[in-house]
Structure 1
Amino acid sequence: MLFQPMTEGPIAYAPLYGQSVAGSETNVAIGLTRLGKQARWIGRLGEDPFGDLVLRTLAGEGLDVGLAVRDSSAPTGLFFKEFKGYGDPNVYFYRARSAASRLTAADVREEWFAGAKHLHVTGITPALGDGTADAIRIAMNMAREQGLTVSFDPNLRRKLWDEKTARDTLLSLVPLCDLFLPGAEEAEFLLGEMSPDAYGHDFLQMGPSVVALKLGEDGSVGFTGDAILRVPGYRVERVVDTVGAGDAFAAGLLSVMVGPTEDWRTERLPELLLRGLERANVYGALATQFKGDWSGLPSLSELEALMQGKRQTTR
């Protein structure tokens, strides 16, 4: 659950809050359904009103939530966003000892991946509890064994764990994915200061087939074994809230690239990646235009109209 003050200013003095559902993997899944894809959400929630609301919201957005687990002895996780009118919002996490923090390798089941083509995970879940990193590692391995492709967004959250543990854990997961999605700041955190091309080369050497490096307003760079693809950013006049932009980028990219596994292993890969990055840049930029992580994301038809420069009929 996400709570945001209804006015800007220090959170300590906010009298009213709006509530919504958020979380990186959730944002990506909702973005994919908005773009016409089917998505299944796997997670652990408290057996409380917040868990009820999460499930109702996700189901209302078209997600399959039939495999979500309810925990009667741990609460649904919470976090708060604080807007002070300048810079990025501050985020405060209350996820320790939540239901999600109790995810372990023993929870991972083959039925999670039945009928699926792709698994998307982030570096947030591994930071939540003692067994969560092992659970994600097992899930990534199991998905690939069943023929799925796997994407991994490190989504670094420094407030959730110490830097050495974060770096070691995130680097250990890179070889288990087919598509790695770091931002420039995350790439520097993992490998030190380097050029974008050097980041792409070094991450590819770890095992992924594709690396998509997010550069914020400067767009993105995609790397495969045979190609480097530079795609300029989509310009917006103002930025309201940057939280969720990386998740929208991931949804835009995956909405193009997820398909037959063999497409990732043929000469079609650079073409897919280029189209995916173009859509991802626009979708990520549009996510900065509203408060909240996903509520304002456009549908596929709206996005295509924007990318083609068409004006939408609204009345």
Structure 2
Amino acid sequence: MTTVSDRRRVATLGETMALVRSRDIGSLRHASDLALGIGGAESNVAIALRRLGLDVTWLGRVGDDSLGERVVREIRAEGVDARAVVDADAPTGLMLKERPTPASTRVLYYRAGSAGSRLSACDLPDGWIEQADLLHLTGITALISESARETLSVAIDRARAAGVVVTFDINYRSSLASPAVAGPWLRDVAERADIVFGGTEELELLYPGTDAAAACERLLAHRPAEVVLKRGADGATAVLATRTVEAPGFVVDVVDTVGAGDAFVAGYLSGLLDGSEVAARLHRANVCGAMLCMTPGDWESSPTLREVRQFTAGIGDPVLR
């Protein structure tokens, strides 16, 4: 049995917003039944990691409002140590999700000038990063504002000085910046991380004119020791300096793909921190991502380790029908 003292500590920071989603298929213009929750890439990862048995701490800003209270309450209810800075001068950000068709999801963000976008290096407590085993970051924080980007850079510097592993999910959002603007910023962070996650197009964004394979090689020439390529139902590939490891994906009945990449990352990081080999990390990551897709919500169906084992035991090949 895993005890509290055995758990590894992960720190992450970024914006978590209130989330309103329609329960039915169709445009929000006609929706009458809505569900209120929360969502944010970093807190999604934090919650998923906690369910997989790790001690996790999340830091972010929220407004001095009911939605900010909701964000903090939900994260803490999942066992994550939430370090929320309450900003009395800005509101909690909001995201809306609609399902125009059974096979598609549309996400709308209302986060300009939000409390989360006002993240500052002054918000980082002394020792908070240095006491962690791993610091996880995403490209969303790098793009939501200049102060958030500076905070991310300071966090990396502090982690580097303390010998803390830095992982980075590119997680590009076109609504935050154009490829021409985002590419250099995201590349700078990726080249300073120990492990980088990204989809094919995200990796190509870092080095315009190259394919994903060449982008992986260029990243490995800098600091990263591993680049993990997310390919959804087609599986995933981990590219290391000495070898490449691939793992098949899972075909499932998809309800909502938003948050699947975060669950994937959590699965991989949990395997890293419990000492699993690369192939086992990829397998767990693929399972976590697949299970997240099967229900509505950004994080609600992130599995426990027991559920990961049950999912794996219940199949004879990588295809669920």
TM-score for both structures, normalised by structure 2: 0.88
What residue identity is the alignment partner of 1:44?
R
What residue identity is the alignment partner of 1:2?
L
The answer for the alignment partner of 1:279 in structure 2 is 284
CA contact (8 A) 1:108 1:138 kept: no
Of residues 94, 101, 125, the one that matches 1:78 is 94
- In structure 2, runs of 5+ residues without a counterpart are 1-17, 316-321
CA contact (8 A) 1:110 1:142 kept: no
> 1:97 is paired with a residue of what secondary structure?
coil
Of residues 75, 85, 92, the one that matches 1:58 is 75
The answer for the alignment partner of 2:39 in structure 1 is 22
1:44-87 per-position Cα deviation (integer Å, ceiling 9, x unaligned): 1111111111111111100011x321111111111111101144
Of residues 289, 292, 299, the one that matches 1:294 is 299
- In structure 1, runs of 5+ residues without a counterpart are 264-270, 311-315
1:242 and 2:257 are equivalent in the alignment: yes
Q: How many residues align?
A: 299
User: Which segment is superposed worse, 175-184 or 299-308?
Assistant: 299-308
The answer for the alignment partner of 1:205 in structure 2 is 221
What's the offset of the Cα at 1:134?
Answer: 1.1
> 2:101 is paired with a residue of what secondary structure?
coil
The answer for the alignment partner of 1:267 in structure 2 is none
The answer for the alignment partner of 1:2 in structure 2 is 19
1:260-301 per-position Cα deviation (integer Å, ceiling 9, x unaligned): xxx7xxxxxxx6222111100111111110110111122111
1:38 and 2:55 are equivalent in the alignment: yes
The answer for the alignment partner of 2:184 in structure 1 is 168
TM-score for both structures, normalised by structure 1: 0.90
Partners of 1:77 and 1:146 lie apart in 2 by: 32
What's the offset of the Cα at 1:208?
Answer: 0.3
Partners of 1:48 and 1:17 lie apart in 2 by: 20
Partners of 2:284 and 2:178 lie apart in 1 by: 34
CA contact (8 A) 2:201 2:212 kept: no
CA contact (8 A) 1:30 1:58 kept: yes
Partners of 1:273 and 1:110 lie apart in 2 by: 33
**1:205-284 to 2 correspondence within 5 Å?**
205-236=221-252, 238-258=253-273, 272-284=277-289
What's the offset of the Cα at 1:139?
Answer: 0.6
Partners of 2:303 and 2:73 lie apart in 1 by: 20
What residue identity is the alignment partner of 1:132?
A
Using the aligned pairs only, state the percent identity: 38
CA contact (8 A) 1:141 1:176 kept: no
> 2:288 is paired with a residue of what secondary structure?
helix
> 2:127 is paired with a residue of what secondary structure?
helix
CA contact (8 A) 2:130 2:159 kept: no
The answer for the alignment partner of 1:112 in structure 2 is 128
Partners of 1:196 and 1:129 lie apart in 2 by: 27
What's the offset of the Cα at 1:196?
Answer: 4.5
**1:87-236 to 2 correspondence within 5 Å?**
87-192=103-208, 194-236=210-252
Partners of 2:191 and 2:206 lie apart in 1 by: 14
What residue identity is the alignment partner of 2:303?
P
What residue identity is the alignment partner of 1:274?
A
Partners of 1:106 and 1:43 lie apart in 2 by: 12
Partners of 1:189 and 1:255 lie apart in 2 by: 27
Question: Per the alignment, do residues 273 and 74 of structure 1 end up closer, same or farther by CA in structure 2, a change over 3 Å counting?
Answer: same
Partners of 1:118 and 1:153 lie apart in 2 by: 13
